[in-house]
Amino acid sequence: MSHTYHYPRPGLTVDVVVFGLDEDDLKLLLVRGGETPQRRWSLPGGFVRIDESLEAAARRELVDETGVSDIFIEQLYTFGRVDRDSRERVVTVSYYGLVNLSEHTVTAAESKDAAWFAIDDMPTLAFDHNEIVEVATARLRGKVRYQPIGFELLPQKFTLTQLQRMYEKILERSLDKRNFRKKALATGLLIELDEVEQDVAHRAARLYRFDERTYRQLAAEGTYFEV
């Protein structure tokens, strides 16, 4: 690694693909700042400062541009095509994040030109952001099969039907109810609560919560979880 380097440096940014789930759809958080060419919608993100880590930059930009804070994020991929931004050379480190829309009300969103879009009804984004979203979607689909990250999309207390719907929306196929419940419970990662859902016009379903403690134990042993 040569340290005496005097050439111009590529710019370095972070961009965040935030997935949210509501009763209907898997959604994506986009912003429309004044700075993007053609005022296109784009992913929240911005330049990395000299004194902050990549993840810190991603969280900072996310709060600044959308008001969304304290969510699960994870690094996705780094995009560095020379012409990905027509104005100048910029390399971007992308992150993806998961939120449950019911508990995380994105209050600041509207006023700041941020909005949720259904994932299969998205505008053309600025730069290569559509490509980043595709990579993020593929990663989510792949990862959800062997790591229980999907819980980040649900409220703390959820029903097995909600859990199943979540998987069905991410994987884009329907799952057998009885088999799904057997497998989900067999992971040992669900804690059955003494509560049922409220205000439904039919038999109320039992509520469960994710067992983080057991998860961390199993994860440390390198165990896999599949659904």
Per CB under 7 A, which of residues 150..169 are in contact with DNA?
159-161
The helix-helix angle for 129-143 and 160-171 (nearest 10°) equals: 130
Report how many residues bind DNA under the rule CB under 7 A.
19
Distance between terminal CA atoms of the chain? 44
Contact status: 122 vs a copy of itself (CB under 8 A): no
**Measuring CA to CA, which residue among 21, 122, 16 is closest to residue 66?**
16
Region of 42-50, 102-110, 113-121, 177-185 interacting with DNA (CB under 7 A):
177-185
Contact status: 126 vs DNA (CB under 7 A): no
User: What is the per-residue binding string for a copy of itself in 126-165, x denoting contact by CB under 8 A?
Assistant: ----------------------------------------
Burial of 187 (0-12, 13-18, 19+ CB in 10 A): middle
Contact status: 145 vs DNA (CB under 7 A): no
Per CB under 8 A, which of residues 14..33 are in contact with a copy of itself?
15, 33
Contact status: 181 vs a copy of itself (CB under 8 A): no
Per CB under 8 A, which of residues 74..103 are in contact with a copy of itself?
75, 77-78, 80-82, 87, 89, 91, 93
Backbone angles phi, psi at 133, to 5 degrees: -65, -40
Residue 45 vs 148, nearer CB to a copy of itself:
45
Backbone angles phi, psi at 115, to 5 degrees: -155, 155
Nearest-Å Rg of the Cα atoms of the chain is: 20
How far apart are CB 217 and DNA at their closest, in Å? Answer: 18
- Residue 74 interacting partner from DNA, a copy of itself, none (CB closer than 5 to 8 Å by kind): none
Residue 75 vs 223, nearer CB to DNA:
223
Region of 3-11, 28-36, 55-63, 194-202 interacting with DNA (CB under 7 A):
194-202
